[in-house]
Each structure stands twice: as structure tokens, then as C-alpha cells.
Amino acid sequence: MDRNRSALAVRWLAASFLVLALGACGRSVSSTPGDAPNLEKWVADVRARPAPPLDPLPVMQQFETFEYAAQDMRDPFSDAWNNPDGGAGLRPDPNRRKEPLEQYPLDSLDMVGTIGTGSGLIALVMAPDRVTHRIRPGAYLGQSDGRVTSVREDRIELVELVPDGAGGWLERPASIALEDQ
């Protein structure tokens, strides 16, 4: 029974402490009628203070004017400048469907053998993904539109199209030799 009384006393003390604490909070939050004029006076004082001075604007630099006087010269952005031959000549075919070995650089492809004889000779080329492909003349290899011109027992000969730096294209011969085992 003493245990119940002590538990009841503890609960009663906790409840009374809670009531006192909440009552104290209520009094500190509520404002008295005398506080409002002080607050209004403080806000009015802050608003009456002069604003701090602004930083001066930076001084603008005067730039020399430039007059463009090259109207009689050739337009550097015209097609005639980029293609001196008027659009004719060598260029890659943008509508041609890319072949599987055109995604790899030419130096990453390895010729591993040939099949057939004479004009029916087919080269075997291994790609970096370790897949072997059959290559005939007319096929495309490498990332520079390299077209195979001939297949020989010991090498594949091809012609690549490379930009010449002036908007045109140049043919560059290349070859892939049979890999020594």
C-alpha cells in the first residue's frame, strides 16, 4: 500500500509541476498593456534612423570604338570560302549506313588471316571486342571513312578520307598488315 501512495505522490508532484511550468510560460509569452507602446516606439525609432550610405558606382571605362571596314573583302562564313571547289570533290557520304568496324580506330583492328584465293580473297579482321569479321574490297574500316581497295595475303589496303583543314577532304592511303603469330 505504501508503494501505491508513493506512486500517487510522485504523479501528483509531476502534475503540479507541469501545471506551474505551463502557467509560467503563459505569463512570459503574454504581453502586458505597457509593453506595446515600448515596442511601437522602438519600431518608430528604427524607421526614423537614416539609411546607411550606398557604395559609389564603379567608374566605367571608355573603350575605343572600332569601325568595321572590310565589306569589300570575301565573307569568311560563306560556302565558297569553306569549299573552294564550289561543293564538288571528295567528301564522306553522310547517308551511307555505317559498318560495324567503323566504330573502332584503324590501329585497334588486327588482320588475323585470309580465306579464298585470287580475286575472291577475303580478309579476317579481329575487332577489339574479340569478334572476327570478314572483309572484302569495298568494305569500310576505321573512323575516317576508310574504304578497302584490295585484300592481299599479307595485308589489307584502304583509302581514308581526312579533312584538309580548309573545308575539303583528302584521300590518305592506309593498310592493315597480317598479325605475326
Q: Which sequence spans correspond to the domains of the chain?
A: 106-177
Q: What is the largest distance, in Å, between two alpha-carbon atoms of the chain? A: 115
pLDDT in tens, 27-67: 554 455 567 788 999 999 999 999 888 899 899 888 888 88
pLDDT tens digits, one per residue of 108-166: 999 999 998 888 899 999 999 999 999 999 999 999 999 999 999 999 999 999 988 88
CATH class as words, domain 106-177: mainly beta
Mean pLDDT for the stretch of residues 64-76 = 81
pLDDT at position 63: 86
Give the Cα separation of 68 and 160 in Å (integer). Answer: 42
Model confidence, pTM: 0.50
C-alpha cell at 123: 580478309
| Through-space distance between the first and last CA atoms of the chain, rounded to whole angstroms | 100
CB 140 within 8 A of CB 134: no
Task: Give the number of other Cβ atoms within 10 Å of residue 167's Cβ.
Answer: 14
